[in-house]
A and B are shown apart, each in its own frame.
Chain A
Amino acid sequence: MASIHIIGAIIGEFAAMFSAIFSIIYLWRRQVLKQKLYIELNKGTLSLDSLERGMLFCLWLAFISMSAAFVLALPAFLNTPQLGGVILWKIFWASMVCLWYAAILGSRYILGVSTKRLALMSLFGFLLLASTIFGFLFLPLFDLSFALS
């Protein structure tokens, strides 16, 4: 179970990273197009449409993988004898990440937000992941209280 959780988390985080990369390229190319700097744009090969599709694919993959990893690990977390501290923070953080990615996809498919906003939301999601060094901050290695005990 733990290995599936780890694999799911790694796939999800990589997908989130790629969606962030697609988002940055999308925002840059969109800006270039709006400013009509065609020559600059011609150097690239990916169209805005391809970038958007790539971004959406990565967002779906990130959401599914990270949610699966979270759901699979949740019973184990809840059964931890010393539930509290870092574990609770990790559950809170993981649920926030999953909810954020669900919100991104929901806003796209239900509310129809623009791809520009989608890209910005995807970047925020990536920052959420990066803020905890992709969850490594919750590992015992980083847990000072665990180390002291």
Chain B
Amino acid sequence: MMKADLHREISRLVCVGMNHKSAPLRLREKVYVPPSELAKALSDIQQAFGFSECVLLSTCNRFDIYAVLPPERQHDENELVSLLYQAFRDFHQPRSLDVTEDLDLHLYCRIGHKAVEHILGVASSLDSLIIGETQITSQFKQAWQCALEAQTLGPHLSRLGQEALGLAKKIRSQTAIGQKTVSISHAALDLAKPIFGDLKGRSLMIIGAGEMAKLAALYAVSKAPKELIIVNRSLDKAQQLISCLNIPEGMHVRAHAFDDLAALLLHVDVLVSATAARTNVIDFDTLAPIVRKRKSRPLCMVDIAIPRDIDPRCGELEDVFLFDIDDLKQLTDDHLKEREAAMGVAQTLLLEKSQDYALWLKNFHVKPYLEGFRLYLDTLIHKECERTFKKDMFKDLKDEQILAIDRLLISLADKITADMAITLKDFHR
């Protein structure tokens, strides 16, 4: 494959989306697609836009569409960007996205090498709100798994997904980025520090029992509060979460159903909400009388759910300190400083991986030729052996001898194919 061919080939890979850097939370929560709806969304988007391959990554901080365009579709870059923006808008319009909003201002589009680097950066948490957070890698894995099940994954994205997960592992093990485990849930609890200082002796409440809630609960336990309350729609799930925790002596941990929420809010100090609810779990009208009854005790509420669980107006109440996922951006500066040196090394590894992918892409097109050539050799060997062994002079050959000759010829064919592969790869390099 010539350089121009490779460029054309890699330019088929595109990415369009919005993340915590490009769009505010109020827009991100509108484009969020819950995991249960991802498979349908994938087939919808593939059918509507005719992508060869497609993966959707929908997390609290981003909504990305990774796609491979069919080879016959040729667009110049500007045209492609507008088409992808249109595809994004068309995809979300029936899903309650406010059409009056100038969405293009908050979207980004990456094509070719930039898309490869973007995907690699996302999987290895270099593009995350909190650099080095571990959750994105598992969300990335789930997105690829979902595409595989929805049959929208092909060789290009499949390979890129493998490369990306390999890179994430490498960065975590070889750089300082993986030294300290951080996640959005960790940062959420750190937001209570300027209000209460130490969490010892405090009452903590976590709403939800999903992955985010679990991470928050694990971190909360390490802070040894007086009490930890898990509230969830399903009490069983809340109790399951509690059973995963290593509870220190003297700490009270209990599970409650949603019905008890109002009563519990009367005495908790810190609340982290991370449910998958589509509407507010705590609204202003519910909280206002509770806050009055609390008699000036501060309440720190951190909403890390997408869409938001807590009505933003609750933050206007006296002695209520409400934070959402965008407020965690402030914490990332500290993390960035800590990880600045490691980021350089990680970026180098990312570029190496990006080149590896480009090389694979080149070789990917050599593979059918090599396979064809090998098939030709095998057929040739088979035909010639058949013809040769029929001759009188070979009639006395024993089976073992015939087998040995067969092996010799196959090994010769292997060597020829391998040499040819190396020559072709060197030629591309």
A→B interface (CB under 8 Å)? 29, 33-34, 36-39, 41-42, 44, 46-50, 108, 112-116
Residues of B within 8 A of A44 (CB): 194
Q: CA separation between A115 and B195, bound complex, in Å?
A: 12
Measured CB to CB, the nearest residue on chain B to A33 is: B321
Asked if B298 and A38 sit within 8 Å, CB to CB, the answer is no
Q: Find B330's partner among A36, A47, A116 (CB 8 Å cutoff).
A: A36
In the complex the two chains form, is B193's CB within 8 Å of A112's CB?
no
| CB of B296 closer than 8 Å to a CB of A | yes
* Contact indicator B298/A49 (Cβ below 8 Å): yes
CA of A112 to CA of B295 in the docked complex: distance in angstroms?
Answer: 5
**Can you offer 21 A-B residue contacts whose CB atoms are under 8 A?**
A33-B321, A34-B321, A36-B330, A37-B330, A38-B191, A38-B331, A39-B333, A42-B334, A44-B194, A47-B193, A47-B196, A48-B194, A48-B196, A49-B196, A49-B298, A112-B296, A113-B296, A114-B296, A114-B319, A115-B298, A116-B318
A47 B331 Cβ-Cβ under 8 A: no
Q: Knowing A38-B327, A42-B334, A115-B319 touch, does A33 contact B296 (C-beta < 8 A)?
A: no
Which residue, B191, B298, B331, has most C-beta atoms of chain A within 10 A?
B298
Interface: B315 (CB within 8 A)? yes
Contact residues in A for B318 (Cβ distance below 8 Å) = 114, 116
B155 CB-CB contact with A under 8 Å: no
Report if B197 contacts A (CB, 8 A): yes
Of all chain A residues, the one with the shortest Cβ separation from B194 is A41
Q: B residues within 8 A CB of A36?
A: 323, 327, 330
Contact partner, A48, options B191, B295, B298, Cβ 8 Å: B298
- The tally of CB-CB contacts under 8 A between chains A and B is 49
Given contacts A114-B318, A115-B319, A116-B318, contact A38 B194 (CB under 8 A): yes
Q: How many angstroms between the C-alpha atoms of A68 and B315 in the bound complex?
A: 42
Instruction: Give the nearest-CB partner of B202 in chain A.
Output: A49
Q: Are B195 and A48 in contact (CB under 8 A)?
A: yes
- The size bracket of the interface on B is 10 to 19
Given contacts A29-B194, A116-B319, 18 further A-B contacts (CB under 8 A): A36-B323, A38-B191, A38-B194, A38-B331, A42-B194, A42-B334, A44-B194, A46-B197, A47-B193, A47-B197, A48-B194, A48-B195, A48-B298, A49-B196, A49-B197, A49-B298, A114-B318, A115-B298
A49 to B321, CA, bound (A): 13
Q: Is A47 touching B323 in the complex (CB atoms < 8 A)?
A: no
> Which residues from B are CB-within-8-Å of A46?
197
Residues of A within 8 A of B321 (CB): 33-34
Whether A33 contacts B195 by the Cβ 8 Å rule is yes
Rounded to whole angstroms, the CA-CA distance of A33 and B195 in the bound complex is 8
Shortest distance from the beta carbon of B339 to any chain A beta carbon, whole Å? 17
In the bound assembly, the distance between CA atoms of A114 and B327 in angstroms comes to 25
A34 touches B319 (CB 8 A): no
On chain A, the residues within 8 Å of B315 by CB distance are 34
The answer for the CA separation of A102 and B409 in the assembled complex, in Å, is 104
Q: Which single residue of chain A is at the shortest CB-CB distance from B193?
A: A47
Provide the residues of chain A in CB contact with B195, threshold 8 Å: 33, 47-49
Q: Shortest CB–CB separation between residue A45 and chain B, in angstroms?
A: 9
By Cβ-Cβ distance, the 8 closest A-B pairs, closest first, are A112-B295, A38-B330, A47-B197, A114-B296, A41-B194, A49-B196, A48-B195, A36-B327
User: Closest CB of chain B to A32's CB: distance in Å?
Assistant: 8
Chain A residues within an 8 Å CB radius of B323: 36
Closest Cβ neighbor of A39 among chain B residues: B330
CB neighbours (8 Å) of A34 from chain B are 315, 321
List A contacts of B193 (CB < 8 A).
Answer: 47
Q: How far is the CA of A91 from the CA of B139 in the complex (A)?
A: 72
Q: Report the separation of the CA atoms of residues A50 and B196 in the bound assembly, to the nearest whole angstrom.
A: 8
Cα-based distance from A115 to B297 in the complex (angstroms):
8
Q: Which residues of A contact B319 (CB under 8 A)?
A: 114-116
Closest B residue, CB atoms, query A52? B298
Q: Mark B317-348, 1 if CB is under 8 A from A, else 0.
A: 01101010001001101100000000000000
Per the bound structure, the CA–CA distance linking A113 and B319 in Å amounts to 11
Shortest distance between the CB of B226 and any CB in chain A (Å):
14
